[in-house]
Each structure stands twice: as structure tokens, then as C-alpha cells.
Structure 1
Amino acid sequence: MLKNHINLKAVLYAAIMVAAMWLGYLLQQLGWFSGCSGAIIPLSPYGLKGIFLSPFLHGSLEHIFGNSVPVFVLIFLLYQFYPFIARQILFLGWILTGFLVWLLPPIDIYTGELNHVCIIGASGIVYVLAFFIFFSGVFRWNMKFLTVSMVVALYYGSLIWGVLPEELFSQLPEPSRVSWQSHLSGATIGILMAFIFRKSGERKVKYIWEFPNYYSEKDDKLWQEYKENHPEDFLELPYKKKENPWEHLDEIRKNQ
């Protein structure tokens, strides 16, 4: 029964992405990626490769655990409900978000000084998918997609606060290590793609009875009920038999 409703490819792709993230974390622990290797370093040519590699790298177990569940859930929802455009959304969102993060100067919001930062983690992808799925349902105004949007808003609505620097909400003893630039970039790209792709893939089905001039007797239940309860009103009505002039030929001749 579930196989008829759940896209197994959606589960597979989500699992592959999470597995790749954990493989990247394992390679980090083995010393394959150390320091800023594989990270996005804003405005540095050396940091461009981080656009592709940074989602697989994480700073701690807490960091990768925090990203694994939303990445799995959101990729599953993307491929389950947007299978025709899921690949474009995932990879375009991934690349564009990473590039936008690379373009944003890492400015300290209090001192205005440029900081040398190395940005890793899959949170940018989380924000791309969460904001795409939510706003795609809104822009399409389709009941099925709106329902998915509400589910995302219910579980991940608090993500909205992540697009702002953490220092604005609490006094921190040291600068926050959370990359609000990744969150803001992902949210922006997600909303833009939801708008651009709003007419792509599955569309809202418009049934014939939704057209203003449509009328079908079969869909008029009151009329059908009346016909069932009053069959005598629909018997064939008596009519006058059409006369045949050849039967009155003699009479016609006499009158002439």
C-alpha cells in the first residue's frame, strides 16, 4: 500500500545525500580535510571549491546530527512532491547558494571589520529546500502543495530566525560560529526558485465543472433525483399522427 504512495527514489536520494555527509565527516576525522580545506572562504579563489565540498563537511557531531535529519526530510519531500524539477532545484540551489555565500563579505556586524572565516556544513541546502518547498506551495496555490508547505512551516518555521546574525538576539562571549550568511543565501535562492519554477512540473488540475459556462445534467444531483422520483413526468408524450394524403385521395378529388 505504501509503495503506491511513497516514491522510493525520494527515500533513496535523501539517504544517499545523508550518507555522503557522514562519509565526508569521517574523512575529516581521518585527516583528509583539515583547517579550511574544502570550506567556502568568502572572496578567496582558494575557497571556491567549498561551493561543492562544504555541505559534506561539519565541525562536530552535533553539527552533522543537526543537519542530517532536515536534509533527509526535505530532500525526500522535494523528490516526492516535485519529481520533475527536483534535480534542478537541488543542484541549482546548492551551487547558487554556495556562490552567493562566497560573494558575501564576512563583515563583523559590530566593528565592520572583515573576518577570515571558513564556512562548512549543509545548512545552506536546508534553507534552500525549506524555503523553496514552502513558497512553492504558496505561489502555485495548489491544495496538495500548500499542505506540504504547512508541514514544512510547522516543523521548520523557526529557521526564519537563522537568516540574521545570532549576536542580535543574545550576548555571546565570542563571535558566533553559525553562518547566517549561508542561511540568508539559501532562503533567498529558495524563494527565487520557487517563483521562477512556479509553473514547472505538476500543475493544479482544473476540472471541467470549474469553468463558468459548464453545465452537465449528469452532475446536477437535484435534477437526477427528481427524474428518479417522478418517472411519469418523462414518459413519451402523445402526439397527433401525421396524415398521409394518399389515404384521402378520393375525398380530395371529390372536393375538386
Structure 2
Amino acid sequence: MLKNHFNFNAVLYAALMVAAMWLGFLLQYLGLFTGCSGAIVPLSPYGLKGIFLSPFLHGSLEHIFGNSVPIFVLIFLLFQFYPFIAKKVFLLGWILTGFLVWLLPPIDIYTGEFNTVCIIGASGIVYVLAFFLFFSGVFRWNMKFLTVSMVVALYYGSLIWGVMPEELFSQLPEPSRISWQSHLSGAVIGILMAFIFRKSGERKVKFIWEFPNYYSEKDDKLWQEYKENHPEDFLELPYKKKENVWERLDELRKNE
């Protein structure tokens, strides 16, 4: 029974992604990725490879720990409840978010200065998945998917604040190292994909009684079973022949 409801591939894909992230972090520690190598560098041809590599790279243990848990949970939810489009959403979300981050100019919101930045981490994918899972349930208006939306909102609702620069909310001694561009890009792509794929795969089940003007005796299994089990109820019943007054006209005159 568990196999009918639990998608073991969902756990496998989630675990593989987290393992790849930790492998990338290990390679960083060993010095295979230094500086901006493997990072997204906005508007720089050199930084295009970061679209594919940056989710595996992180700046610290705190950084990778902070992304590992939500990545695992959200990938599991995606493949568990949306197996019919999960791979499309994951891969397209990853690439499109990375490309949108690369297109956004790294401009300081206060000074307007153009800064060269190196963006690493899987937070863009986290935002893609979180916003897709939430808005997909809303757009489909299906009870099962809405439940997933509520779970995501409950545990990751605070992510909404990450789509804006941290400097707007607190006085920082130096510019924030958190890439709000990745968060904003992921949120936008997640919402767009939730809308585009809203009619793909499993949809809301509509029962026959939800169609008030529709009834087909052939589709009514209970009615068919009753007819088979009680044929005597459907035999032609005897009835009184309708009296024709004109045939008894002479008889009626005699009685008068």
C-alpha cells in the first residue's frame, strides 16, 4: 500500500542533489574552485558556466547547511506530488533562473555603482521550487495540491522577504553578501512555471454529481446491478384495458 502512495524516486532525486552540493563544496575546500570559478558573474561571458555550476558551490558551512534542508524537502515534494512534470520544472527552473540572474546588472541600490559580483549557491533553485509548489496549488485549486501549498507557506513563507535587498530592512556595516537577485529570479520563474503548467498532468477530479444536468443510465452502476438482480421488478405489469364507451352504447341505453 505504501508503494502506491509513496514515490521512492522523490527521495532519491532529493538525496542526489544534496549529495552533489556537498561534493561541490568538498571540491571547493580542496581548491578546485577558487575565486569566481564556477560562479555566475552577471553580464560576463566568463560567468555563463555558473548557470550550471553555481548551485553546487557555497561560501561556508552555514551557507550549504542553510540550502541543503530546503532543497531536499522541496525536491521531494515536487517529485512526490508532481511526478508528471517534476523534471521539466526542476531543470527549466534551474537554467532559466540562472540565466535571469546572469542578465540582472549588479548595481548598488543606494549608490547606483556597477559592482562585479560572483554569485554561488542553490538558493535560486530553492525559490523556484518553493514558489512553484505554492502557486501551482493555487492555480489548480485542487485540494491535494493546495495542501502542499499550505505546507510550503507554513515552513518557507518567510522566503518572501528574500526577494528584496537586505539593506532595505537593516543597517549593514558593509553590503550584504546575500544574492537577492537569485531569490527574485527564482520566485518569478517559479510563479511563471506554475501558471504555464497549471493544466498539465493530474487535475482536479470532478464527480458525476458535480454535473447537475448530466445523467447517463449506462454509467449508473448501481442501477445496472439492481436491474440484473431484480428482473422481476421490470416485467410488464398487467393493466386494465381502457373502456370504450361507444362499444357499450346499446347496453347503456337499455339500462336507462
Quick one: which amino acid aligns to residue 170 of structure 1? S
Q: Which residue of 2 aligns with 1:11?
A: 11
- State the SS of the aligned residue for 2:96: helix
1:188-199 correspondence to structure 2 within 5 Å: 188-199=188-199
Q: Which residue of 1 aligns with 2:27?
A: 27
Q: Which residue of 2 aligns with 1:66?
A: 66
Output the CA distance in 1 between the equivalents of 2:37 and 2:23: 16
Could you report, residue by residue, the CA deviation over 1:103-147 in whole angstroms, capped at 9, with x for unpaired residues? 000000110001110000000000000000100000011111011
- State the SS of the aligned residue for 1:127: helix
Q: Which residue of 1 aligns with 2:52?
A: 52
Output the CA distance in 2 between the equivalents of 1:237 and 1:45: 88
Q: Which residue of 2 aligns with 1:226?
A: none
Residue 214 of structure 1 deviates from its aligned partner by 3.3
Residue correspondences, number: 230
Quick one: which amino acid aligns to residue 127 of structure 1? Y
Quick one: which amino acid aligns to residue 116 of structure 2? H
Output the CA distance in 2 between the equivalents of 1:49 and 1:168: 30
Q: Which residue of 2 aligns with 1:223?
A: none
1:161-240 correspondence to structure 2 within 5 Å: 161-214=161-214, 239-240=239-240
Output the CA distance in 2 between the equivalents of 1:212 and 1:65: 53
Deviates more, 1:201-210 or 1:138-147: 201-210
- State the SS of the aligned residue for 2:118: coil
Output the CA distance in 2 between the equivalents of 1:40 and 1:70: 21
Percent identity for Structure 1 against Structure 2: 89
Q: Which residue of 2 aligns with 1:151?
A: 151
Output the CA distance in 2 between the equivalents of 1:77 and 1:6: 11
Residue 212 of structure 1 deviates from its aligned partner by 2.0
Q: Which residue of 2 aligns with 1:107?
A: 107
Could you report, residue by residue, the CA deviation over 1:21-79 in whole angstroms, capped at 9, with x for unpaired residues? 00000000001100100000000000000000000000000000000000000000000
Quick one: which amino acid aligns to residue 169 of structure 1? F
- State the SS of the aligned residue for 2:121: coil
- State the SS of the aligned residue for 2:212: coil
TM-score by length of 1: 0.85
Residue 240 of structure 1 deviates from its aligned partner by 3.0
- State the SS of the aligned residue for 2:40: coil
- Structure 1: runs of 5 or more not aligned: 220-233, 243-256
Q: Which residue of 1 aligns with 2:83?
A: 83
2:138 matches 1:133: no
Quick one: which amino acid aligns to residue 112 of structure 1? G
Q: Which residue of 2 aligns with 1:253?
A: none
After superposition, the CA RMSD in angstroms is: 2.2
Output the CA distance in 2 between the equivalents of 1:203 and 1:20: 33
Could you report, residue by residue, the CA deviation over 1:63-100 in whole angstroms, capped at 9, with x for unpaired residues? 00000000000000000111010000000000000000
Residue 204 of structure 1 deviates from its aligned partner by 1.1
Q: Which residue of 2 aligns with 1:42?
A: 42
- Structure 2: runs of 5 or more not aligned: 221-233, 243-256
Output the CA distance in 2 between the equivalents of 1:216 and 1:101: 55
TM-score by length of 2: 0.85
Q: Which residue of 2 aligns with 1:123?
A: 123
Output the CA distance in 1 between the equivalents of 2:3 and 2:201: 22
- State the SS of the aligned residue for 1:101: helix
- State the SS of the aligned residue for 1:19: helix
- State the SS of the aligned residue for 1:76: helix
Quick one: which amino acid aligns to residue 167 of structure 2? E
Residue 237 of structure 1 deviates from its aligned partner by 6.7
